[in-house]
A = this chain, B = another copy of it.
Amino acid sequence: MTANGNQRPPGTDEPAVPDFADALNAFMSHREDPGMLQLLTPEGALVAPPDRTPGYDPELLRALYRDMVMARGFDTEATALQRQGELGLWPPLAGQEAAQVGSAHALRADDYVFPSYREHAVAWCRGVNPLDIIKLYRGVTNGGWDPRETNFHLYTLVVGSHALHATGYAMGLAKKGSDAAAIAYFGDGATSEGDVAEAFTFAAVHSAPVVFFCQNNQWAISEPVERQLRGPLYRRADGFGFPGVQVDGNDALAVHAVTRAALEHVRAGNGPFFIEASTYRMGAHTTSDDPTRYRRPAEVEHWRARDPIVRLRTHLSHADDTAPVFFEEVEEEARKLAHRIRHDTRILPHPHRLAVFDHVYAEGHAVVDEEREQFEEYHRSFADGETE
């Protein structure tokens, strides 16, 4: 059992098969409009017969479904905790579960993930303890977990800056002769930041094994995607000399397939790969945000009908005859997770005040030492810890 209470060690369910990318290409070339890749329709039906659907595997789909439900359970609970004043802030993920879980399941354990701040479902799949994410948004820490344990980096809040870290990391992997890959998650808005473009350039020039995974959730806070860029976004990569594809980000199966193909591509030394997963943030940008100020209910309704969890559930129950007990068990597991999180959040210890001075430097700094000393002295000056 991993840190998050998740039975499955992260990312081991789908070892890369060398000809998967070929299968995906064959699938794409059979389609009339090779635009956005979709394997499951919003109604839960397969676009092609199972034997012509790359990576089709009901077991995998149930694993994806389970993690999507768990992630939503966690997310819903965290949102509630914020409303109750237990968290300072929460950026809800609801709506983006297929994009995150589908891609995360395509990763190997030794791949390294660079998330932004909303990748709770990816974190879950990697085995990060959800409570560690809670800690961050509760204001207990600016970090939360040891990235080396899960190869899931700390959240990065400065939009786009981690795309370069992923690129550098991937350059390093290649230098070391490893066939692991790096993946950077960022939003549609992030693609405007110069750092993302620079990451594209460096990754392309160095043929770095990095997948750029963009969740185009249609909004950067209040700005619709048309105000951020002139699309189509997935073509951005071509101008930097590497391939980019658009995938239905609410279709976990398609996301999984395309990410798996992308990872094969980059592992083979072909350089970076860009994925635009078209999805939707069903909730607010964060709990501080009021999306009714900038988007119409009809739009939200339109996307609610495309809920990625419903889609997969429909498919599993109709096309695959998954037994109802499976869904009940998953629901129950998610309820337990939410309960555990609620409980554990409330008893999270307050950080020690001296932690302000911890780890500013690895090898010390005279000014920090001096200030820490004065700080301690100052607090000692209050009799009997009256201000503790």
Cβ of A49: which chain B residues have Cβ within 8 Å of it? none
Cβ of A191: which chain B residues have Cβ within 8 Å of it? 201
Cβ of A271: which chain B residues have Cβ within 8 Å of it? 230
* In the assembled complex, A239 has its CB within 8 A of some CB on chain B: yes
* In the assembled complex, A235 has its CB within 8 A of some CB on chain B: yes
Cβ of A204: which chain B residues have Cβ within 8 Å of it? 229-230
16 other A-B residue contacts (CB within 8 Å) besides A194-B195, A205-B228, A230-B271 = A191-B201, A192-B201, A193-B194, A193-B198, A194-B194, A194-B197, A194-B198, A197-B197, A197-B198, A201-B229, A205-B226, A229-B240, A231-B241, A235-B239, A236-B239, A239-B240
How near does chain B come to A258, taking the closest CB pair, in angstroms? 19
Task: Mark A residues whose CB is within 8 Å of B.
Answer: 191-198, 201, 204-205, 226-231, 235-242, 271
Cβ of A231: which chain B residues have Cβ within 8 Å of it? 241
- Indicate how many identical chains form the complex: 2
How near does chain B come to A115, taking the closest CB pair, in angstroms? 21
How near does chain B come to A287, taking the closest CB pair, in angstroms? 29
Cβ of A194: which chain B residues have Cβ within 8 Å of it? 193-195, 197-198
Task: Name which residue of chain B comes closest to A200, CB basis.
Answer: B197
Q: Are B238 and A239 in contact (CB under 8 A)?
A: yes
Cβ of A239: which chain B residues have Cβ within 8 Å of it? 235-240
How near does chain B come to A329, taking the closest CB pair, in angstroms? 45
The complex places the Cα of A129 from the Cα of B237 at a distance, in Å, of 42
Q: List 27 A-B contacts (CB under 8 A).
A: A191-B201, A192-B198, A192-B201, A194-B194, A194-B195, A194-B197, A196-B197, A197-B197, A197-B198, A201-B228, A201-B229, A204-B229, A205-B226, A205-B227, A205-B228, A205-B229, A205-B230, A229-B240, A230-B241, A230-B242, A231-B241, A235-B238, A236-B240, A237-B239, A238-B238, A238-B239, A239-B239
